């Protein structure tokens, strides 16, 4: 009996050593290639990412991956959040951000406790069994960004910036002790270049060295082109020197993806960096909804979803009601997917319905519980 007990203890110790060795190598057993058994769990799902090929949903314990194959959507895998040191809310809370294709995620913790401890910043490959520590944080405020093509990820540390090739996990550390103050924003380019900015300095890092960009306020870097905003003029850096004037009285309120949003009372002026075009959007009078919290603009900027006392209202660009949609919790239940809206309805943890909405066709179920939508 004692011999069996010793063997069990030895096996247990070996298992712990293997797990610790795997974590030291940067691999964490967080991914399930088959959907996890959700039976007996409680809580609601929220939408955190949507593209034409992939939809990601999150709960307090799992990240679910829906993938499209032809016209069929299916649950292809889940990522357990506990091994990522995930906390939904409280004195320690986790922030998740995603690459443009939804394959990679960055997980960073904000620790507001008096005795805050450093937490690892994790780069997670959602398609493989891999989570790699690429830095650490206490405040969760460290600047980080994916390149537009999803190949690179840049993470700012105290006096370094870490550039990670997402596919291989290879890390390059570049010294930024010369940078004036802490970078407040970082961009990663498609060629591995890194752009840093705060109120005192803007600088660009490449394999060849660094370049200080004097008197430059960068608002967008698409991986290849640099955009600046000075005295109401949006300008594309480079030989052509193309520029667009922001209408008088409009102030910048949000930068998201390929778009800048300016506002003057209930009128918005939207500029698409990728298309290099501007357009206006009018909001209904009487209130000024908070963008992102109460108002979600479509990627094309021609529609918006507005949360009011009666539910969700779909608006056209003139601010007129195009449809009235049931549901609430704008940030959790709805997300834009190109020109359509995606909605999640949680019946229970194991059963949720993901639908796609268009004004001409209404709702179409993409995924229902454990079954693929037909």
What are the pLDDT digits (tens) for 200-251? 889 999 888 888 887 778 888 887 788 888 888 898 876 567 889 999 999 9
Q: Above 50 in pLDDT, residue 11?
A: no
Q: What is the pLDDT of residue 140?
A: 62
Q: How many CB atoms lie within 10 A of CB 226?
A: 20
114 - beta bridge partners?
A: none
Q: Above 60 in pLDDT, residue 301?
A: yes
Q: Which helix (H) or strand (E) holds 16?
A: helix 2-24
**Token pair belonging to 232:** 């109401």
* pTM, two decimal places: 0.83
Q: Which helix (H) or strand (E) holds 194?
A: strand 194-197
* CA 272, 276, 278, 281 torsion-angle sign: negative
């Amino acid at each position: 009996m004692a011999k069996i007990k010793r063997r069990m203890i030895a096996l247990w110790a070996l298992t712990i050593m293997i797990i610790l060795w795997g974590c030291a190598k940067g691999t964490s057993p967080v991914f399930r290639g088959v959907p996890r058994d959700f039976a007996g769990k409680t809580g609601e799902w929220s939408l955190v990412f949507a593209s034409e090929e992939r939809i990601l949903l999150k709960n307090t314990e799992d990240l679910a991956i829906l993938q499209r194959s032809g016209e069929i959507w299916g649950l292809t895998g889940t990522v357990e959040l506990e091994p990522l040191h995930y906390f939904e809310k409280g004195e320690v809370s986790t922030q998740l951000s995603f690459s443009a294709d939804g394959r990679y995620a960055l997980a960073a913790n904000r620790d507001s406790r008096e005795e805050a401890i450093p937490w690892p910043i994790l780069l997670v490959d959602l398609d493989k069994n891999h989570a790699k520590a690429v830095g650490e944080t206490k405040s969760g405020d460290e600047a980080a960004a994916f390149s537009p093509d999803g190949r690179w990820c840049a993470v700012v540390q105290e006096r370094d910036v870490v550039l990670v090739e997402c596919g291989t996990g290879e890390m390059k550390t570049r010294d930024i002790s010369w940078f004036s103050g802490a970078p407040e924003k970082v961009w990663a380019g498609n060629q591995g270049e890194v752009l840093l900015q705060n109120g005192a300095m803007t600088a660009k890092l490449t394999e060849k060295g660094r370049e200080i960009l004097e008197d430059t306020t960068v608002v967008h870097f698409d991986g290849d082109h640099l955009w600046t905003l000075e005295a109401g003029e949006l300008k594309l850096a480079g030989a052509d020197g193309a520029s667009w004037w922001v209408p008088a009285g409009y102030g910048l309120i949000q930068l998201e993806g390929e778009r800048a949003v300016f506002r003057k009372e209930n009128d918005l002026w939207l500029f698409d960096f990728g298309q290099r075009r501007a357009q206006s959007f009018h909001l209904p009078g009487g209130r000024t909804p908070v963008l992102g919290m109460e108002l979600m603009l479509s990627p094309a900027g021609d529609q918006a979803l507005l949360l009011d006392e009666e539910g969700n209202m779909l608006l056209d660009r003139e601010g007129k009601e195009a449809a009235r949609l049931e549901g609430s919790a704008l940030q959790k239940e709805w997300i834009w997917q190109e020109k359509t809206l995606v909605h999640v309805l949680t019946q229970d943890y194991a059963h949720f319905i993901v639908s796609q909405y268009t004004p001409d066709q209404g709702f179409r179920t993409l995924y229902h519980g454990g079954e693929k939508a037909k």
